[in-house]
Amino acid sequence: MKLDILVFGAHPDDAELGAGATIAKEVANGKKVGIIDLTRGELGTRGSAEIRDEEAAAAAKILGVTVRENLEYADGFFMNDKKHQMGIIQILRKYRPDIVLCNAIDDRHIDHAKGSSLVSDACFLSGLVKIDTKLEGSDVWQDAWRPKQVYHYIQWKNLKPDFVVDVSGFIDKKTEAILAYGSQFFDPKSDEPETPISSKNFIDSVKYRARDLGRLVGTEYAEGFTAERHVAVDNLDALI
């Protein structure tokens, strides 16, 4: 199965928080989009890995993605090394995305920057023909594949985006997908410990950040991304 866009997140809910509205918009435009979670978020203060598995499946259904997988790397302790890179290379060659979205290049949680560099490095290595991979249980060697672009969504820190996507009309879908993670975010009835992302202010900030980015570019809502390479367009009209 070939996907147009593959979105990676260090934890379940990273993709929704960073790029949920963009994902929903691309799906509505007919693109095949997948999400790959690197870990099950088992070190999270609230909830459990099993609960987050269920929440991730519910969020994927809301966004309408074609596929969602979890690589079950160790939350907090995965590394940007050969073992982890090879797992991502197998996934990239399995789904052959043209565009990859992944974690922020710098952020509060150490897994976000690690996940960012891990996926980015794997995207380059996946294009090298002398790296041999097979999917587990298969005898077929995979063909090399390198995505055309790797973009990084923005998370806790207010990084300066290289470009933004107009997501007007899709912010409610993003919010719905985020709130599918009932164990993680604001719930006045919850008796679990408070975390930086469990407050109502945090949930509100997701929308007002998108509204502010939209204001800056003349739309209602927008999501920001950073790019590893220059973003090319056919003509100046494409920038409007």
Local confidence pLDDT in tens for the 240 residues of the chain: 899 999 999 999 999 999 999 999 999 999 999 999 999 999 999 999 999 999 999 999 999 999 999 999 999 999 999 999 999 999 999 999 999 999 999 999 999 999 999 999 999 999 999 999 999 888 899 999 999 999 999 999 999 999 999 999 999 999 999 999 999 999 888 889 999 999 999 999 999 999 999 999 999 999 999 999 888 888 988 877
pLDDT number for residue 151: 98
CA 166, distance to chain mean position in Å, is: 17
User: Cα separation of 6 and 35, whole Å?
Assistant: 6
Q: Residue 208: its pLDDT value, please?
A: 95
pLDDT at position 77? 98
Give domain status of residue 236, yes or no: no
Residue 238 included in any domain: no
How many domains does the chain fold into? Answer: 1
Domain of 52 in residue numbering reads as: 5-229
Q: How far apart are CA 17 and CA 13, in angstroms?
A: 6
pLDDT at position 218 is 95
Q: What's the CA gap between 219 and 87, in Å, rounded?
A: 39
Task: Return all residues near 14 (Cβ < 8 A) that are at least 6 apart.
Answer: 37, 103, 112, 115, 155
Residue 234 inside a domain? The answer is: no
The answer to the question of residue 63 being in a domain is yes
Q: Which amino acid is at 6?
A: L
Strands of the chain (E only): list them: 5-9, 33-39, 67-73, 99-102, 149-153, 163-166, 222-227
Look at residue 195 and give its three-state secondary structure. Answer: coil
The structure tokens listed for 40 are 């099950």
Burial of 236 (0-12, 13-18, 19+ CB in 10 A): exposed
Residue 239 lies in a domain: no
193 to 1, 43, 198, 207: CA distances (angstroms): 41, 14, 9, 24
Let me know: does 153 contact 16? Beta carbons within 8 Å.
no
* CB count in 10 Å sphere of residue 29: 9
pLDDT of residue 189: 86
For residue 130, which phi and psi values (nearest 5 degrees)? -90, 0
Q: What is the CATH number of the domain that holds 149?
A: 3.40.50.10320
| pLDDT value at residue 239 | 75
Helix (H/G/I), strand (E/B), else coil: 203:
helix
